[in-house]
Amino acid sequence: MRRFERIEYSVITKAAPELAWQVFSDWELWPQFSEFYADIHWTKGEPWQEGSRLSIRTRSPMGVTLDHVIISCVPAEKVGWIDHAVGTALEQWVHFETRPGGGTVVRTWAEFTGEMPPVAGRSIKDLLVEFTRTWYDRYAVECDRAADRQSGMSKKPGANTLERQDLPA
C-alpha cells in the first residue's frame, strides 16, 4: 500500500502579503531561488488562473518535467497546485499570512504519494525537503530586498533574519 508523505515549511519576511505575492508569482525569478530549474514556462491558460499549467524542466539530480496544474489562486492569500512526475503525485499549497506589526508569514505544505523511486540515491522526500528549504529561504531574502526597495531603505548588514519552521526529518 502506498503512503502519503507530508512536508511543511514557513518563512517570515518584512514584505507585505501583496509584495510577497508579487515576488512569488514572478516565475522568472525562481531560478534565483534554486539551481534546480532548467526551464520554466506557462503551457496553458493565463498565469496563476485555475486550470493553467506551468511546465518546469529540472536540471538535477535528474532531468524531469513537472506539470504544475493550478487548482486555486487567491493572489496575496493562497495558491495551490498539483504536480505529477517520476510516478509521484504532489499537491502543494502556499499561504501568505499578514503578521501583526507588518510583514508576512509564508507557509507551504505539500502532500505526495506514488511510487516515489529514489532519485540519485536519495528519497523523494529528502529531495523535496532540501529543495523547499533552499527555495523558500532564498525567496524570503528576495522579498526582504523588495520591501527595502519599496520603502526606500538601504539594506543594513545583518538586518535580515528569518524564522523557520523545521521540516520533519
More confident residue, 59 or 160: 59
Per-residue model confidence (pLDDT) at position 155: 47
pLDDT, tens only, 104-158: 999 999 999 987 666 677 787 888 899 999 999 999 999 999 999 998 864 454 4
Q: Which CATH superfamily is domain 5-36+74-151 in?
A: START domain (3.30.530.20)
Q: CA 2: distance to chain centroid? A: 25
Per-residue model confidence (pLDDT) at position 139: 98
More confident residue, 169 or 148: 148
**Whole-number Å distance between alpha carbons of 54 and 56:** 6
More confident residue, 97 or 122: 97
Cis-peptide into 118, omega within 30 deg: no
**pLDDT > 70 in the chain, percent:** 84
More confident residue, 65 or 69: 69
Residue burial 148-165, b: 16+ Cβ < 10 Å; e: rest:
beeeeeeeeeeeeeeeee
pLDDT band at 65 (very low <50, low <70, confident <90, very high): confident
Nearest to 91 by CA among 76, 80, 79: 80
pLDDT band at 12 (very low <50, low <70, confident <90, very high): very high
**Whole-number Å distance between alpha carbons of 80 and 68:** 9
Give phi and psi for 134, each to the nearest 5.
Answer: -60, -50
Number of Cα atoms under 13 Å in the Cβ half of residue 7 = 21
Per-residue model confidence (pLDDT) at position 21: 98
Per-residue model confidence (pLDDT) at position 33: 96
Residues in the chain: 169
Give phi and psi for 72, each to the nearest 5.
Answer: -165, 145
More confident residue, 97 or 159: 97
Cell 523545521, residue? 166
Pairing mode, strands 53-58 and 5-13: unpaired
C-alpha cell at 14: 518584512
pLDDT band at 102 (very low <50, low <70, confident <90, very high): very high
Per-residue model confidence (pLDDT) at position 118: 67
Residue type, 44: K
The answer to whether 39 touches 68, Cβ cutoff 8 Å, is no
